[in-house]
Every structure is written in structure tokens, then in C-alpha cells.
């Protein structure tokens, strides 16, 4: 079996982000479990859905000062300044995968996205390229993954 990935697409509020940095330019993680489970007396098991398991963490790395940096920064500022115009974002990450010459799209959709941190910055005199990257951290209230 052969597998290849490339040409991934990252949308934030329907804007396709193109000013991406190096390394992991977008990461979606799930910090909570999908259920709670306990075992009771006589071997009885109890499970319940944990809606917190639908929350996702999104990290996006863009080039500092780029149009995408300015766009994401304006979203964070709208949240921080309690602007009436603020509305939680949506995002869609499409990973294009070729397995044995057949294309599959892994589509992760996130909703009700709000910022979780401000963007860090630094000055480095030894050639650290991280000083040219803006790292945005968000939390999404809803998430879904599909393969097509």
C-alpha cells in the first residue's frame, strides 16, 4: 500500500489561509474524552457521553506580518475588545490523501471558535526563524471529521 499527502487546504471563516509558516502549520487536537465510564458492583459498567469531547484545540502558524496574520489578529482583537461585531469563527481543514492512486479527503470541520491566547513574540540575534512566525491558539466548541 502506498500513501501520499499534499495540497492540504485550511479555511478560517471561509478564507483560505496561504501565508503558512514551516513545520506543523495547522494542528487540531482533542483534549477531552468522548465519554465517561465507571465500573460498579457485580461487574456492571456505566458509560455516558461527554460533550466536552467534541471540543477541539486549533493551532495555526502563519508568517508574521502577512495578510493572514493581519486577518487572524483582527479576529483575536475583536474578541479581546468585546466588539459587538465579533462572531465565533468556523474552520475547515481538508487533508488530501492519495492511497494506492485513489484520492481521499479527510475533512475536519470546527465551529464556535474563539481565541485562547494572545500571540507571543520575541527578538533573537542567533537566526531563530520562530521570531518570524505568529502562532495562533483557538478552541472550538464543535467538531466533525469526514472522509470522502
Tens digits of residue pLDDT in 47-61: 999 999 999 999 999
Count of other CB atoms within 10 angstroms of residue 33? 10
pTM of the model: 0.90
Tens digits of residue pLDDT in 7-42: 899 999 999 999 999 999 999 999 999 999 999 999
Quote the DSSP letter at residue 64. T
Amino acid at each position: 500500500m502506498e500513501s501520499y499527502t499534499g495540497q492540504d487546504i485550511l479555511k478560517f471563516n471561509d478564507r483560505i489561509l496561504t501565508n503558512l509558516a514551516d513545520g506543523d502549520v495547522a494542528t487540531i487536537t482533542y483534549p477531552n474524552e468522548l465519554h465517561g465510564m465507571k465500573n460498579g458492583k457485580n461487574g456492571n459498567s456505566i458509560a455516558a457521553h461527554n460533550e466536552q469531547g467534541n471540543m477541539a484545540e486549533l493551532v495555526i502558524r502563519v508568517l508574521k506580518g502577512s495578510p493572514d496574520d493581519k486577518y487572524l489578529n483582527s479576529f483575536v482583537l475583536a474578541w479581546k475588545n468585546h466588539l459587538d461585531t465579533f462572531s465565533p469563527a468556523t474552520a475547515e481543514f481538508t487533508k488530501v490523501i492519495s492511497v494506492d492512486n485513489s484520492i481521499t479527503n479527510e475533512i475536519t470541520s470546527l465551529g464556535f471558535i474563539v481565541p485562547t491566547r494572545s500571540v507571543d513574540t520575541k527578538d533573537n540575534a542567533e537566526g531563530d526563524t520562530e521570531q518570524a512566525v505568529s502562532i495562533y491558539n483557538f478552541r472550538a466548541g464543535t467538531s466533525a471529521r469526514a472522509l470522502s
